[in-house]
Amino acid sequence: MSDLGLYALRLALLAALAGVAAGVFAGRSGRGDLEQVARRAVWVTFAFSALAIGALAWCLATFDFQLKYVSEHCARGMTLPYRLAAVWGGQGGSLLLWVFISLIYASAAAWIHRRGQRLMPWVFAVLLLNATFFLALINFEANPFEKLPPGEVLSDGAGLNPLLQHPLMLIHPVMLYSGFTGFSVPFAFAAAALITGRLGDAWLRATRRWTLVPWFFLSIGILLGGRWAYEVLGWGGYWAWDPVENASFMPWLPATAYLHSVMIQEKRDMLKIWNLVLVGLTYALCLFGTFLTRSGVISSVHSFTNSGWFGYVFLAYVAVAISAYYALLFARRGRLRSTNRLESVVSREASFVLNNWVFMGILAVVFWGTLFPVLSEAARGVKIAVGPRFFNTMAAPLAALLLFLTGVGPLVAWRRASPASLRRQFALPAASGAAAAVAASAALGRSLSLYPLVFWSLGAFVVATIAQEYWRAVRARMRSAGESPLGALATLLRKNQRRYGGYVVHLGVVFILIGISGAAFNDERLENVKPGQKIRVDDYSLEYLTAKPIPQQHYGGAVARLALYRDGEPVAVMAPERRMYWLEQQPASIPSIRSTLREDLYVILTALEADGSATLKIHRNPLVNWIWIGGYTFIFGALLVLWPHPERKPRQAARSEAKPSAVHQARSEPTA
Amino acid sequence: MSKGIQIAVGAAAVALLLGWYAATNLDRIGTFRYYQTLAEFRSASAGAAPARVHGYVAPGSIVRDVGAREIRFAVVNDPPHKGGAGRDALPVVYGSLETPDMFNEGAEVVIEGHLDAGSVFVADNVMAKCPSKFEAKRTEKASF
């Protein structure tokens, strides 16, 4: 089976190379038969990569310890799901997953755009060039099918890093890579448009839709990563600005900025160069993020790999690919200039431009903070750490500004907003924001610090804008079409899913930011208790009952039992664990979490002491649940935007045919 | 004045404001700190100034004092297998019963804190590293 995988990898590389050549020749000559060859090469490469990843999964599932990869990432004690998850537990497998998912996207693009677009040969060439690079790395540098010398084959393996043995880790990496790799498609369309000079509408429509899907997966991946950190790492938080977290967050920022600014290009035919910059930047950061996590350049919780020249090759590839893209963009800049100019600072365009800058500002902060230790080590020989406080301090005001713009953007008119329309649009939301601020101050008094006040007030402001938008649109439909409220709502979501789905996404973001703002009230303490003793935490009390050994499996350790009372009433039994993974010789603290809408009680068993007492770390984390609620809302909203329905296609076609109407539409928009 | 310039001026103002904000805040939150090896720390000894010192936990030196709620251990410059353990060890007091999962005899650690009058290092944070990675016990509180 491992031989099959090995050959599949070799053949995938050959097919990808052949496809690149066919794509380039088809692009230069315009020959349809060569384009067809390139398209089929995409599918063939995909088939071989699927075969390879399937073979690797088979080897892991059947304990083929001849393979170095299997012996390093798998063990007999592991259940089947985790053995399969070990496919992406190490270097070669992760890269294979990368290629495999990117080829799913490429194949889908090859299928969906199978008719008549002059861009396609170049799109295939770019996508397969990308796959070629990764396949070359897998084939020659990090081959998961490498066999151990016969004398070194053992009957059991080293096992998977215990921190990864968690259900969320089965899907988190897949989601993240579905995000990362998916951005290769918009990148390829943009690059193809730049290469051919066909900078009309085709690439724009394609890239916007192809950005939405990976952006959706990346968002889920980031949220799941936070959830995993919260439930597994046992330090009481969900986000630590770890370089690998940052690596997943960085491409999300320009991608989100692009999804906003692309609307300006559609409606007002502006910002074309900027949008191409964002598409390139997004993909550059995806590659760079993969580089950060895979090369071990920054040692961190997630980086399980340390490699030599692998890193340099990777960095060189990122540099060359991105430089070529920006050089092309620079060469074509003359043909991308817009005839329209910004007419007023108080307009939707201006608010979107500002929104883009804020995203770029956050990106600059995260990028600088992530790379600072590396740069300082390179320049001065000492590694200087940048702690979470740097990121929080710098990002919080930017996030507040962004939240403000989330409310403002949709309400300001295109081109130029009149004072009267501003009053009409902002009276209610502004009053809601002010009311929330007053209510919060009254309820919490002196314990309320600046940031929660700002975020809650802005949150109420944004929620009010969304409610107002929905209410006005529903009422208009009820009057004009005589629909019931629910019927009107359904029509809205069907007819303008991007706009009204987008509002739901915004609502999710508000919830997430409110959840994060709860961190200002976080409270933690370390307690040492004997059996029978109680700890009081506000209106909770925790009684330490006993500790028991964990039933023997591939890890051992102890689980403490704690009775949780609230206002004297028993509410739950909490059971934090202190595990020892025998094979990996790695301890892990698994927290026990009691979660309500108001707050989480998060208990870690730090140690069982020699005198029979237990040392417990207790975190009280207000509002954390809202992050996950916001996450679900976000996903739901994004699904509303993405949901395919038959009315969408003809509308878009009509729009692109009659281009001047875009401006007309833009004028009539704000009152909708 | 064109709208473009108006916006550029606005952006410059925001950027300046942020720069000023960063400059005034970063000192206070003390984000940037150096790693020093124990030997470097010894030779550069700057009294009671905050320091971040890298070393290895001397085997057999860890004492968990539950009553006093502190952990005492010693840090040496070289890993135990290189010999010389125990000589020139830096005694450390960490006022907590909580250590990272990887903290153990012989573990590679980075300790944050300062030297007190009796030449004992008072640590307010201990990070431990297993061969390939650091695992910080992240006690730093979010600042908002």
Do B78 and B131 lie in a common domain?
yes
Q: Tell me how long chain A is.
A: 672
Q: How far apart (Å, rounded) are the C-alpha atoms in residues A349 and A342?
A: 7
SS3 per residue for A519-539: HHHCEEEEEEECCCCEEEECC
Closest CA to A390 of B32, B20, B18: B32
SS3 per residue for chain B: CCHHHHHHHHHHHHHHHHHHHHHHHHHHHCCCEECEEHHHHHHCCCCCCCEEEEEEECCCCCEEECCCCEEEEEEECCCHHHCCCCCCCEEEEECCCCCCCCCCCCCEEEEEEEECCCCCEEEEEEEEEECCEEEECCCCCCCC
Does residue B66 form part of some domain?
yes
Do B26 and B90 lie in a common domain?
no
The Cα of A306 is separated from the nearest Cα of chain B by a number of Å equal to 8
B139: confidence class by pLDDT, cuts 50, 70, 90: very low
What pLDDT, on the 0 to 100 scale, is given for residue B27?
Answer: 54
- Separation in Å, CA B99 to CA A182, B64, B127: 40, 11, 8
Which burial class, exposed, middle or buried, applies to A409 when counting CB atoms under 10 A from its CB (0-12, 13-18, 19+)?
buried
**Is there a contact between A454 and A400 (Cβ–Cβ < 8 Å)?**
yes
- Percent of chain A topping pLDDT 90: 50
Phi and psi at A522, nearest 5°, equal -60, 150
Check the CA dihedral A417-A418-A424-A427 and report its sign: positive
Do B26 and B72 lie in a common domain?
no
Q: How far apart (Å, rounded) are the C-alpha atoms in residues B85 and B60?
A: 10
**Residue bearing tokens 């304990």:** A63
What pLDDT, on the 0 to 100 scale, is given for residue B33?
Answer: 54
What pLDDT, on the 0 to 100 scale, is given for residue B25?
Answer: 63
What pLDDT, on the 0 to 100 scale, is given for residue B52?
Answer: 82
Q: Which of A182-191, B5-14, B20-29 has the highest mean pLDDT?
A: A182-191
What pLDDT, on the 0 to 100 scale, is given for residue A141?
Answer: 84
SS3 A118: coil
Q: How crowded is residue A441: how many other Cβ atoms within 10 Å of its Cβ?
A: 14
Give the mean pLDDT of B100-108: 81
**Which run of H or E residues covers position A595?**
strand A592-595
Q: How crowded is residue A587: how many other Cβ atoms within 10 Å of its Cβ?
A: 17
Q: Report CB contact under 8 Å: B144, A589.
A: no
CB contact residues (below 8 A), chain B span 53-112, against chain A? 64, 66, 69, 96-99, 101-102
* Sequence letter at residue A522: N
The answer to whether B22 contacts chain A (CB < 8 Å) is yes
Do B60 and B76 lie in a common domain?
yes
Nearest by CB to B64, from A517, A587, A609: name it: A609
Say if strands B108-115 and B121-130 run parallel, antiparallel, or are unpaired.
antiparallel
Do B15 and B58 lie in a common domain?
no
Q: Supply the Cα-derived Rg of chain A in whole angstroms.
A: 27
Q: Report CB contact under 8 Å: B132, A606.
A: no
A653: confidence class by pLDDT, cuts 50, 70, 90: very low
Q: Which of A235-249, A606-620, B59-73, B75-89 has the lowest mean pLDDT?
A: B75-89
> pLDDT (tens digit, 9 = 90+) per residue, A126-176?
999 999 999 999 998 889 999 888 877 887 887 777 777 888 888 898 999
The order of strands in the sheet holding A592-595 is A523-529, A614-622, A599-608, A592-595
The answer to whether B25 contacts chain A (CB < 8 Å) is yes
Closest CA to A656 of A271, A199, A201, A118: A201
The Cα of A536 is separated from the nearest Cα of chain B by a number of Å equal to 19
B86: confidence class by pLDDT, cuts 50, 70, 90: low
Set of chain B residues whose Cβ sits within 8 Å of the Cβ of A617: 98
What pLDDT, on the 0 to 100 scale, is given for residue A665?
Answer: 39
The Cα of A564 is separated from the nearest Cα of chain B by a number of Å equal to 22
The answer to whether B9 contacts chain A (CB < 8 Å) is no
What pLDDT, on the 0 to 100 scale, is given for residue B3?
Answer: 62
Q: How far apart (Å, rounded) are the C-alpha atoms in residues A227 and A239?
A: 9
SS3 A177: helix
What pLDDT, on the 0 to 100 scale, is given for residue B40?
Answer: 81
Does residue B141 form part of some domain?
no
Q: Report CB contact under 8 Å: B138, A389.
A: no
**Which run of H or E residues covers position A133?**
helix A120-140
Set of chain A residues whose Cβ sits within 8 Å of the Cβ of B6: 345
Q: Report CB contact under 8 Å: A296, B132.
A: yes
The answer to whether B132 contacts chain A (CB < 8 Å) is yes
> pLDDT (tens digit, 9 = 90+) per residue, A304-362?
344 456 777 888 899 999 999 999 999 988 888 777 777 777 788 888 888 999 999 99
Q: Report CB contact under 8 Å: A296, B22.
A: no
Q: Which of B31, B94, B110, B132 to mutate to test the interface with A (most CBs of A within 10 A)?
A: B31
Nearest by CB to A240, from B21, B130, B138: name it: B138
Structure tokens at B21: 């904000």
Q: How far apart (Å, rounded) are the C-alpha atoms in residues B14 and B6?
A: 12
| Total number of domains constituting chain B | 2
Q: Which of A5-14, A75-84, A485-494, B12-21 has the lowest mean pLDDT?
A: B12-21
Give the mean pLDDT of A605-610: 88
The answer to whether A615 contacts chain B (CB < 8 Å) is yes
Do B49 and B116 lie in a common domain?
yes
**Is there a contact between B42 and B55 (Cβ–Cβ < 8 Å)?**
no
- Percent of chain A topping pLDDT 70: 92
Q: How crowded is residue B84: how many other Cβ atoms within 10 Å of its Cβ?
A: 12
What pLDDT, on the 0 to 100 scale, is given for residue A669?
Answer: 37
The answer to whether A156 contacts chain B (CB < 8 Å) is no
Q: Report CB contact under 8 Å: B7, A353.
A: yes
The answer to whether A522 contacts chain B (CB < 8 Å) is yes
Q: Pick the more confident residue, A271 or A249.
A: A249
Q: Phi/psi class of residue A269: alpha, beta or left (left: φ > 0; alpha: ψ in -120 to 50)?
A: left
**pLDDT above 90 for A626:** yes
Domain span holding position B108: 36-136
Q: Report CB contact under 8 Å: A389, B140.
A: yes
A298: confidence class by pLDDT, cuts 50, 70, 90: low
The Cα of B135 is separated from the nearest Cα of chain A by a number of Å equal to 6
Average pLDDT, chain A: 86
Does residue B16 form part of some domain?
yes
B84: confidence class by pLDDT, cuts 50, 70, 90: low
The Cα of A253 is separated from the nearest Cα of chain B by a number of Å equal to 18
The Cα of B118 is separated from the nearest Cα of chain A by a number of Å equal to 27
The answer to whether A304 contacts chain B (CB < 8 Å) is yes
Nearest by CB to A519, from B11, B138, B144: name it: B144
CATH assignment at residue B70: 2.40.50.140
Set of chain B residues whose Cβ sits within 8 Å of the Cβ of A519: 141-142, 144
Q: How far apart (Å, rounded) are the C-alpha atoms in residues A246 and A366?
A: 7
What pLDDT, on the 0 to 100 scale, is given for residue A46?
Answer: 97
Q: Which of A327-341, A561-575, A605-619 has the lowest mean pLDDT?
A: A327-341
What pLDDT, on the 0 to 100 scale, is given for residue A634?
Answer: 96
Q: Report CB contact under 8 Å: B7, A350.
A: yes
B83: confidence class by pLDDT, cuts 50, 70, 90: low
B29: confidence class by pLDDT, cuts 50, 70, 90: very low
Does residue B104 form part of some domain?
yes
Q: Report CB contact under 8 Å: A615, B98.
A: yes
Does residue B143 form part of some domain?
no
Do B27 and B66 lie in a common domain?
no
The Cα of A102 is separated from the nearest Cα of chain B by a number of Å equal to 29
Q: Supply the Cα-derived Rg of chain B in whole angstroms.
A: 21
Do B61 and B121 lie in a common domain?
yes
Do B80 and B128 lie in a common domain?
yes
Structure tokens at A452: 């929660």
The Cα of A375 is separated from the nearest Cα of chain B by a number of Å equal to 13
Cβ contacts of A151 within 8 Å, gap of 6 or more: none
Do B61 and B3 lie in a common domain?
no
**pLDDT above 50 for A651:** no
- Count of CA atoms in the C-beta half-sphere (13 A) of A538: 12
Buried b (16+ CB within 10 A) or exposed e, A187-211: bbbbbbbbbbeebebbbbbbbbbbb
Q: Pick the more confident residue, A1 or A488.
A: A488
Q: Report CB contact under 8 Å: A385, B29.
A: no
Q: Tell me how long chain B is.
A: 144
The CATH code of the domain at A1-160 is 1.20.120
Q: Report CB contact under 8 Å: B134, A300.
A: yes
**Is there a contact between A407 and A458 (Cβ–Cβ < 8 Å)?**
yes
Do B19 and B40 lie in a common domain?
no
A51: confidence class by pLDDT, cuts 50, 70, 90: very high
- Count of CA atoms in the C-beta half-sphere (13 A) of A285: 28
Does residue B10 form part of some domain?
yes
Q: Report CB contact under 8 Å: A528, B69.
A: yes
The Cα of A159 is separated from the nearest Cα of chain B by a number of Å equal to 16
**pLDDT above 60 for A442:** yes
What pLDDT, on the 0 to 100 scale, is given for residue A303?
Answer: 36
Do B23 and B41 lie in a common domain?
no
A661: confidence class by pLDDT, cuts 50, 70, 90: very low
Buried b (16+ CB within 10 A) or exposed e, A475-510: eebeeeeebeeeebbeebbeeebebbbbbbbbbbbb
**pLDDT above 80 for A424:** yes
Q: Which of A653-662, B69-78, B79-88 has the lowest mean pLDDT?
A: A653-662
- Separation in Å, CA A348 to CA A356, A409, A416, A583, A656: 12, 6, 8, 59, 22
What pLDDT, on the 0 to 100 scale, is given for residue A561?
Answer: 94
Q: Pick the more confident residue, B68 or B133.
A: B68
A655: confidence class by pLDDT, cuts 50, 70, 90: very low
What pLDDT, on the 0 to 100 scale, is given for residue B46?
Answer: 63
Does residue B142 form part of some domain?
no
ipTM for the whole complex: 0.71
Structure tokens at A653: 């076609």
